[in-house]
Amino acid sequence: MEEKIISNHNRPSIPIGGHPVETGDYIIDTIAINEILEPMRHWIQMRVPGGIIYGAPRLGKTRAIKYIQNTFDYKYPNQWLNLKIKTRKRKTPSEDAFFEFFLKDVGHDLYSQGKAVAKRNRLSNFLLDKGDQTIRKQIVLFIDDAQRLTDIEFEWLMDIYNELDSFGITLTTILIGQNELTHRRSTYLTTAKQIVGRFMVHEERFYGVREMDELSYMLSSYDEVTEFPVGSNCSYTNFFFPNGFNKGFRLENEAEYIWSSLLELRAENGINKKVEIPMHYLISIVNHVLLEYGANNVGNIDWPTKTLWKEAIKVSGFIHAEVLQS
């Protein structure tokens, strides 16, 4: 069966379901991302062995790191190697599993072969080879959900650091995780200073959206910075609401109403804590409007109404989550 194609005005023709908003494979620039990008760049330039990025769940830390990796790759090509691994929750730490998942996450084809010692050696050789190919002889390792790391796993990481260092390769490890990370750092300052010295020299908090201006900045990316397909000069806003976009409407200008609606719904539900909205919910709010009422759907309207934005806030689950956490 021939795949249905949507085409409207100067919109690029894209198979239904193929836009990044539909696949979920996109990252939006935010002020919070830029607030941690510069300190991280400085850690890398100064060859700091490690630092912490921490924050509450669902703030968008994982996507932020992907954005930062892409930015570093673009701005500093081959200066250093960016790698990312994700921790796995296990009842008992296993050296074999630790190095197998490490190898798998960095893209090694032989991640499952051999015993723990063989996997460790394979990983060391892989990192030495890759690090030696960079201009700065440096590897930046992002570890996601790092609050799951146990003491013995930090010891295994230290062994890797020391081996690379003995061959002139710098390993800068950036731990990304929940607030527990900074509490662990405080504990290690009295019980295991060597862990702090290797992996927790500096720390930065990652925030959600705290003010309307930050929301406006985020929404402006949909209007201007985003583009799909590459070279089409068609932003996400333009693609989903071409008629409204051509009339001069922009999502950035919806920020004041969306923000006031968020505050209003919080107040109605007795939520009094300080405002910090996770990116997970803001993306859900925007996605709901784009996908349900944009040009790729039967809802196809020129521009979203205030009623639709309020609907999107409610169906995102944000208010329910706030009530549960109050």
| pLDDT tens digits along 159-179 | 999 999 999 999 999 999 999
Is residue 239 very low, low, confident or very high in pLDDT (cuts 50, 70, 90)?
Answer: very high
Q: What is the DSSP letter of 78?
A: T
Q: What is the pLDDT of residues 71-117, one digit of tens each?
A: 999 999 999 999 999 999 888 999 999 999 999 999 999 999 999 99
Q: What pLDDT sits at residue 9? A: 53
Q: What pLDDT sits at residue 57? A: 87
Cβ-Cβ contacts under 8 Å for 299 (sequence gap 6 or more)? 292, 293
> Where along the chain do its domains lie?
31-205, 210-325
Q: What pLDDT sits at residue 7? A: 41
Q: What is the DSSP letter of 224?
A: I
Cβ-Cβ contacts under 8 Å for 92 (sequence gap 6 or more)? none
User: Is residue 290's pLDDT more than 90?
Assistant: yes
What value does the mean pLDDT take over residues 248-273?
A: 96
Q: What is the pLDDT of residues 15-49, one digit of tens each?
A: 989 999 999 999 999 999 999 999 999 999 999 99
- Residue 137, by phi and psi: left (phi above 0), alpha (psi -120 to 50) or beta? left
Q: Which amino acid is at 2?
A: E
Is residue 253 very low, low, confident or very high in pLDDT (cuts 50, 70, 90)?
Answer: very high
In the chain, pLDDT over 70 holds for what percent of residues? 97
CA angle 83/79/137 to nearest 5° reads 80
3-state class of 6 per DSSP? strand
What value does the mean pLDDT take over residues 210-239?
A: 96
Q: What is the pLDDT of residues 179-214, one digit of tens each?
A: 999 999 999 999 999 999 999 999 999 999 999 999
Q: For residues 98 and 155, is the Cβ–Cβ distance under 8 A? A: no
Strands annotated E in 162-259? 170-177, 202-205
pTM above 0.85, yes or no: yes
Q: What pLDDT sits at residue 170? A: 98
Rounded CA separation 228/12 (Å):
8
Q: What pLDDT sits at residue 31? A: 94
Q: Are strands 5-6 and 202-205 parallel, antiparallel or unpaired?
A: unpaired
The answer as to CATH 3.90.420.10 being correct for domain 31-205 is no
User: Is residue 128's pLDDT more than 80?
Assistant: yes
Q: How far is CA 156 from the centre of its chain?
A: 26
With 0-12 / 13-18 / 19 or more C-beta atoms within 10 angstroms meaning exposed / middle / buried, residue 265 is middle
Rounded CA separation 42/211 (Å):
27
Is residue 58 very low, low, confident or very high in pLDDT (cuts 50, 70, 90)?
Answer: confident
DSSP secondary structure, 264-319, as one string: HHHHHTT--SPP-B-HHHHHHHHHHHHHHHSTTSTT--SS--HHHHHHHHHHHTHH
